[in-house]
Amino acid sequence: MAESNPNTSTASNPASGPMERELVITRVFDAPRELVFRAWTDPKHMAQWWGPKNFTNRVEQMDVRPGGAWRIIMCAPDGNEFPAQGVYREIVPPDRLAFSNLAVDKDGNVIIDGFTTVTFTDHNGKTKLTLETRGVAKVAYAANYLKGMEAGWTQSLERLAESLAAGQSA
C-alpha cells in the first residue's frame, strides 16, 4: 500500500478562481525505485496509469531524453479527449525527471502551461516519490481544470500504485 502526503498551494483571482496552482505530493510505493522510474519512462507502462481514474490513454510520443518530446491523449469515459504534451528537461535515472507539462485544446493551443519535477528516493527497499508541479491557466476556462489538479494527480498516483502491485510495470 502506498502512503500519501499531499501539500498544496494555490494562487487565486477571486473573480475567476485559481489561475495558477502549485502542488507537491509525496508518496511511498512498495517497489524499487528503478521500477517506479521505468513506469514513468516506458510508454507501455505510462499508458496503464497516467490520468484520472477510469480514463484510458494513447501515448503518441515519448522520446525520453533531454529535449525529447512527449504527448499523451487522455480519454475520458464519456469519449472526451484531453491532450497533454511537453518536453523533457532533465532525466537522471533512476533519481529524477523534469518536464514541461502542457494541457492543450483540440487545435493544439496551450490552455495550461505547467512544469513537473519527479524525484525517486530509495526508502528501505521501497520508493519515496515526490512530485512537484505547477500550472498556469492560459485561458479562463482552464482555471476549472487547475481546481482538479490535486485530484487528477492523486488518482494517477493511485493508478500507478495499482499498476506496480499488479506487476504491469515489471
- pLDDT given at position 167: 84
* The model's pTM: 0.87
CATH number, domain containing residue 62: 3.30.530.20
* pLDDT confidence of residue 139: 96
Is residue 170 situated within a structural domain?
no
The C-alpha cell at 93 is 535515472
Q: Which residues pair with 16 in a beta bridge?
A: none
d(CA 73, CA 128): 27
Which residue range forms the structural domain that includes residue 134? 3-165
16 in a domain, yes or no?
A: yes
Q: pLDDT tens digits, residue range 148-167?
A: 999 999 999 999 999 999 98
Total of domains in the chain: 1
